Amino acid sequence: MTDSAFFNIIPVIKNVLKTPGGSMHTNTIKVDLKPEILIQAVMNMKKKQREAFLEDLLASTSPDYLKSIKEARDDYKAGRIKTHDEVFEE
């Protein structure tokens, strides 16, 4: 598979795996891919796309990260927040 063929198939894979409700199946797709190619693909992404990809990658591999996001959202909803000035005032 050429590098460009791999990058062109990513949106296709995403569309195939998404259900009508928007959730992803737990299918596994094995792709023989050199790390250098993946790194270059990430480096070529626009900033917002790269940040979203890296956040998704971290979330999918770190239950602690997901837990911390849930806790932060719960704190925000409950009003357990401080302003930047409250945290960093001298």
pLDDT tens digits, one per residue of 16-64: 445 555 555 556 777 788 889 888 988 999 999 999 888 888 888 888 8
- Look up residue 81 and give its DSSP letter: -
Note the Cα 40 to chain centre separation in Å: 17
Check: CB of residue 17 under 8 Å from CB of residue 25: yes
Query: What would the mean pLDDT of 62-69 be, rounded to a whole number?
Result: 87
pLDDT grade, residue 5 (50/70/90)?
very low
Average pLDDT of 61-77?
A: 89
Residue 69 tokens, joined: 């996001």
SS3 80: coil
Of 57, 47, 41, residue with least CA distance to 7 = 41
